[in-house]
Every structure is written in C-alpha cells, then in structure tokens.
Amino acid sequence: MWVNIAFYSTTTFLEIFGCTPREKAWNPLLPGGHCINKHALVVASSAINLPSDIVIFFLPQRAIWRLHLSKRKRLGMSAVFAIALL
C-alpha cells in the first residue's frame, strides 16, 4: 500500500509539473520547452499495478482455503476474488 501511495503521489506531481513551461502541457504547439515522456509514466504505472493486483488476489487465498467449508464454496469464494482481476 505504501509503495502505491508513494508511486502515485510522485506520478501526480510529475504530471502536474512535467512540462517546462507548464503551458506546454495543454498547448503542445507552443514553441520551445519540453515535457516528460508520458508513455514512460503509463508503462511504470502498469509495472506497479500488475504486481499489486496479483498480491491483492493471492493474499486472501490462503485464508479462504483454510476455512472449514466445502471445496465448492471455497472455489466460489476464490472465483469472486478472481473476478476482481478483470
């Protein structure tokens, strides 16, 4: 959770102040200045989101499979968490 908070705080800061001059962010035809690579931010976000999604899926699985329920009910509960991955 702390990694996500730190990463998205940094990303938000970079998106706000990523262009010099700042007007270049909404007017790309402005002569001079430059902006950070937005594609790199998207790739970095994907690199953070995929592992965090996998962790969110697998953390409750251990607890689900230790419950005293039928195998069918445990599979159903696991499926509910798997749907969240979509």
Spell 15-25 as b/e; 16+ CB within 10 A means b: eeebbeeeebb
Tens of pLDDT along 4-54?
899 999 999 999 999 999 888 888 888 888 999 999 999 999 999 889 888
pTM: 0.67
pLDDT value for 32: 87
d(CA 43, CA 18): 16
